[in-house]
Amino acid sequence: MKSADVDTVIHDQTQVLQYIEVEAGFIKSDGAGNFVMTTSLTPAQLWYGVAQWGFNVGRQDCEIYLNTLYRLNREKQRNDSALAALAAGTAAILTPTHASAASLSIVAAAFGLTTALNDALFQTYLFTEAPGLIATKVKDLQDAYQKSLTQSSITTSDQAYSAIQHYYSICLPESIEGVLLEAVANSTPKVKNTGQNGQGSGGSVLTSPKLAQPK
């Protein structure tokens, strides 16, 4: 660890908390470069309130990010549909002109490559999963985390910042992917007795695995 790096990180973190305190009306400047409390809150009440405002900011940032994912997902589907229509239309135009099989295969390959590139680009943003499902799951995780914190669990500035930082991390792509993978890894297949040909008793079939709730 370098002292300059530590100084930068701590300064940034304390500035974040100070901005929240000022904008939320917990403190104000006295005009001489110092800040004074504007309320009679205890330290525990102050830092718990700062954390709650931090959660509000984090929720808004997360919603913007997830909304962007949703719109990009729809753009991916639109692009795929448009490319498929163009490929079919081009083939329909070339066929009556007695274009060679080689020409048609080149056109088909070109559109296929373009579609593959479109999919590869957008799938780097968690689009292998439904964005609506991701948004719902992230909201549930954030709500559960926020409800798990009490005023007695956030009594200092470092605890307030740590709580806000953890709240933000729930919405990070790697965190979302980890939750989904953990849910799949913890799921177990169940056997349902249906009898022979699905009637009566005595037979069994495997049902779809039920995803375990993430911790």
Instruction: Tell me how far apart the alpha carbons of residues 202 and 204 are, in angstroms, rounded to a whole number.
Output: 7
* Of 16, 20, 83, nearest in space to 50 by CA: 20
Domain ranges of the chain: 3-171
Instruction: Tell me how far apart the alpha carbons of residues 211 and 112 are, in angstroms, rounded to a whole number.
Output: 34
Residue 163: what pLDDT?
95
104 versus 170: which is more confidently predicted? 170
From residue 98, give the alpha-carbon distance in Å to each of 93, 101, 103: 10, 9, 10
pLDDT tens digits along 130-154? 777 888 888 998 999 999 999 889 9
Going 167 to 171 to 177 to 179, the CA torsion angle's sign is positive
pLDDT tens digits along 71-107? 777 776 766 776 676 666 665 555 555 555 555 565 5
Tokens for 52?
A: 């709650």
Q: Which 8-state DSSP code applies to residue 208?
A: P
Does residue 163 contact residue 154 with C-beta atoms inside 8 Å? yes
Residue 128: partners with Cβ closer than 8 Å, 6 or more residues away: none
Residue 158: what pLDDT?
94
Ranges of H-type helices in 24-100: 43-94
Band of pLDDT at residue 174, cut at 50, 70 and 90: confident
Does residue 114 contact residue 105 with C-beta atoms inside 8 Å? no
Does residue 177 contact residue 126 with C-beta atoms inside 8 Å? yes
Instruction: Tell me how far apart the alpha carbons of residues 153 and 160 are, in angstroms, rounded to a whole number.
Output: 9
* Of 169, 171, 164, nearest in space to 146 by CA: 164
149, amino acid identity = L
154, amino acid identity = I
